[in-house]
A and B are shown apart, each in its own frame.
Chain A
């Protein structure tokens, strides 16, 4: 059961702002001001405006100063989820988080100083420590007053979905009653330059599944869920926001950065998720696609969805919210899980307003305009560099 959700994207902080933006198809791109992009092909991204003052937590001012952008976004999302869940401090609450980069911006600062001013030691030990993702997770635990095993999943762009899936599996196995889980990543110069060097970024606009798409857009953000057993939620009288009912993971060995052209592993991940949820494609009301907007990903995923959906494909609504938030890398899967939760709670579908011409591989319907429709079951896909594919299925709670 999901009893709390927190989200930070370039569209806003928190459920309310983000739900309004996703529902209307708003986009959150602007010129990157965090680092020098003058020599990059692309100069925009979905950059988050962070608050100048953090909301109160158990962290001291000194601890707060150690947080980098990724750590702040993670903390904001975790705090929102924590407050919504009504959870109390505990010393045995596991945390499972997904990230590709952790505190990479601190690592970049460390590099610049070590190379440029090698004898200057100021801040370097702090950067070396808090660059590590497990420290960011520990800071969240300290901020919210709990302790527990920290697991960091780093399966590239599937990390967030894998983290939620593994957290759900921990509860299913009876290893714990509750888990705080999610994913996060901040924009970094290295990541931005990396995707630019591969010429994967769109010089125009991100239009997943459009026949004229020309690449992805990067973004940053975080999303956190509080998962617990039905019994735990019921005992506390907690409000249940929705439930995770299925998870599938698979491996695409085709190439480090390119999916199998037929989307074989993506198809397998969706099949496995349906198997664990004990449902068929017929019962899925909405697919939040990985949909990066790159020619190769979207074509492979379109084939995978079409094959998986079979006869259902023609009437199946699909969209990629990366059109609005950009690709959040390790944060993508968790943010998209929260978007699915919003759809289930509020009964709408998030549109891609820039979408015009469907790719011929799409046998399904792309949601191109805001729609208020009944949504009982939503499926979310995430596929990563390195080939890890993951699918999550969530159901409306009633």
Chain B
């Protein structure tokens, strides 16, 4: 049986531009402060949790291809570079890295600006903006930055699509088409997106950023975490509602174990959370809900869930983590990670947790 190792993590979030910043914010488990997002035509602004400005201008912005790019590309690039460090360093031959970028809302800032210019006067709409409106733009820029990237794909969908990105990355690895698969989830903030979200959840706090997992079959690159399981996709259909799909997803995850953590997508929104909250209502073990701290980051939030889960395992806090991705309007998919067994004691713990996939 092939083992899939997590060999690097990357994060850009309202907590900052590193996994460490994400870890610190989640460890405090207190919602980060919000800021006001002006909403034209309304007196009351919408709340948001933006990504703070980086302490130092990221050096990758000097790359000629990235000079005019949008924030979503900056977030994706920073998370990507952080995640592939171990794969790129100390290798004689450069690793072939496959890139999968998952988006729900995508490049909304430049899309907004370009369409606004089009409606004002289509004859003068900026040709510099349009290419950056395309869903595929962030993936293209990250590929240009990392260079040895034979395969690149952009997937769109609700946050469950992040796990489809992981699955595609694994397929590429198993077929030997790449040495590592970098799977990114990214989003950026815009008032129009927050306005759209408001229709479904008046209390939602929009946020942006990116999360990245780098996967490989090479144990030498492992960060001490293995991807153990991706459940089937359980789509929402005329016959299977969101609640039932979430239950079916959980039924494919191993039974609860106190030594592992649940990383869910709850967001203090009774209506939006209902299906997922119901599914995991009997979970008595430790639980982490990154959106409560960081806000509704859509696809970026799905990636943060996975990054946080892997980081906790890599840090020795838990032997395994279940990530629950109950998407908003597409499907429910679960992902499970566990610690790479290094000792007899590890093997014993993992066997008890039902996570021995050696």
Q: Indicate whether A and B interact.
A: yes
Chain A positions within 8 Å of B, measured between CB atoms, are 36-37, 39-41, 58, 91, 99-100, 102, 108, 110-112, 114-115, 117-119, 121, 124-125, 128-129, 132-135, 138, 141-142, 145, 147-156, 162, 166, 169, 173, 189-190, 193-199, 249-251, 253, 255-257, 384-388
A112 touches B119 (CB 8 A): yes
B112 touches A111 (CB 8 A): yes
B136 touches A135 (CB 8 A): no
Interchain nearest-CB distance for B303 vs A (Å): 17
B118 touches A190 (CB 8 A): yes
Chain A residues with CB under 8 Å of B164's CB are 149, 151
A115 touches B40 (CB 8 A): yes
Known: A132-B104, A251-B152. A194 touches B130 (CB 8 A): yes
B195 touches A114 (CB 8 A): yes
Chain B residues with CB under 8 Å of A110's CB are 192, 196
Closest A residue to B195 by CB, please name it: A114
Give Cα distance in the complex from A128 to B192, angstroms.
10
Chain B residues with CB under 8 Å of A384's CB are 136
Known: A111-B112, A134-B158, A386-B136. A148 touches B235 (CB 8 A): yes
B141 at the interface (CB under 8 A from A): yes
Give Cα distance in the complex from A102 to B154, angstroms.
14
Closest A residue to B128 by CB, please name it: A197
Closest A residue to B232 by CB, please name it: A149
Of B6-14, B213-221, B236-244, B349-357, the one with at least 4 CB within 8 A of chain A: B236-244
The 6 residue pairs across chains A and B that have the minimum distance between CB atoms: A118-B41, A386-B136, A386-B140, A149-B233, A194-B130, A147-B237
B131 touches A249 (CB 8 A): no
A152 touches B155 (CB 8 A): yes
Give Cα distance in the complex from A393 to B98, angstroms.
23
Of B143-151, B271-279, B340-348, the one with at least 4 CB within 8 A of chain A: B143-151
1/0 per position for B102-143, CB-CB distance to A under 8 A? Answer: 011000000110111011011101110011111111011101
Give Cα distance in the complex from A259 to B150, angstroms.
15
Give Cα distance in the complex from A41 to B281, angstroms.
59
Name the interface size band of chain B.
Answer: 35 or more
Chain A residues with CB under 8 Å of B150's CB are 250-251
B161 at the interface (CB under 8 A from A): yes
Known: A149-B235, A197-B130, A198-B130. A387 touches B171 (CB 8 A): no
Give Cα distance in the complex from A382 to B210, angstroms.
29
Chain A residues with CB under 8 Å of B156's CB are 99, 102, 132-134, 152-154
List, sorted by A's number, 27 A–B pairs whose CB atoms are closer than 8 Å.
A40-B122, A41-B123, A58-B238, A108-B115, A110-B192, A111-B112, A111-B192, A117-B41, A118-B39, A118-B40, A129-B329, A132-B104, A134-B157, A135-B329, A138-B236, A138-B237, A150-B330, A154-B136, A155-B152, A155-B154, A156-B135, A250-B150, A253-B144, A256-B131, A385-B137, A386-B140, A388-B152
Chain B residues with CB under 8 Å of A155's CB are 136, 139, 152-154
Known: A110-B192, A125-B199, A149-B233. A156 touches B134 (CB 8 A): yes
Give Cα distance in the complex from A19 to B104, angstroms.
36
A173 touches B171 (CB 8 A): yes
A196 touches B235 (CB 8 A): no
Known: A142-B238, A147-B239, A386-B139. A124 touches B196 (CB 8 A): yes
Chain A residues with CB under 8 Å of B240's CB are 91, 147
Chain B residues with CB under 8 Å of A132's CB are 104, 156-158, 329
Chain B residues with CB under 8 Å of A134's CB are 156-158, 161, 329-330
Known: A110-B192, A153-B154, A190-B111. A387 touches B143 (CB 8 A): yes
B283 at the interface (CB under 8 A from A): no
Give Cα distance in the complex from A151 to B163, angstroms.
11
Interchain nearest-CB distance for A69 vs B (Å): 17
B157 touches A152 (CB 8 A): yes
